[in-house]
Amino acid sequence: MKLTPFTQMSGAFRARVVKTWHMSTELSPANAAVRLNDIAVESGFVRRAKPVPGTALTEWGKSGVTPLWAALAALVLLLASGWRPESEEEWAGFSSLYIQLCKTKELAALLDGLPASIDRPCATGWICAAIEEDERYRLTKKVAQ
């Protein structure tokens, strides 16, 4: 499957969202892994009693592959701190993860749930793009089966 520019940008953000969050804190890698795991468990993204080692956070950044549960937990933590996307890559990544976080593709519901720190008019376009990209992915996956 050919990657679209949106998919490339959102994937790049997903690969570094944990690092972005971790750099905004003063937590050690081990404590950051515990915090990330706690949020992931509380939010229902993962069921694990033991957090990943702190070195996993560094490895995800190096490999460019971050587990979805960790990316979603990092986004929850970033949004709680007032973070907002600035670059196109951040907007694509935010919107892609946000529709998964909210578990809906209904635009009105997604916009109603936006944190105050997020620019609503700008987010509208990016969220629409994420919804369309998700639908394209699902159709392509279905055809390939």
Q: Report pLDDT digits (tens) over 51-109.
A: 899 999 989 988 989 999 999 999 999 999 999 999 999 999 999 999 999 989 999 99
CA 136 to CA 122: how far, in whole Å? 22
Predicted pLDDT at 144 = 63
Average pLDDT for 42-51? 90
**Of 82 and 1, which is predicted with more confidence?**
82
Average pLDDT for 45-56? 90
Predicted pLDDT at 120 = 96
- 33: closest CA among 51, 15, 58, 60? 51
Predicted pLDDT at 3 = 85
Predicted pLDDT at 61 = 84
User: Is the pLDDT assigned to residue 20 strictly greater than 90?
Assistant: yes
Average pLDDT for 111-137? 95
Cβ neighbours of 53 (radius 10 Å) = 12
Contacts of 85 (CB under 8 A, 6+ apart): 91, 93, 94, 118, 126
Average pLDDT for 14-43? 95
* Residue 87 DSSP label: S
Integer-rounded Cα radius of gyration of the chain: 15
The structure tokens 């997604």 sit at 110
Average pLDDT of every residue of the chain:
93
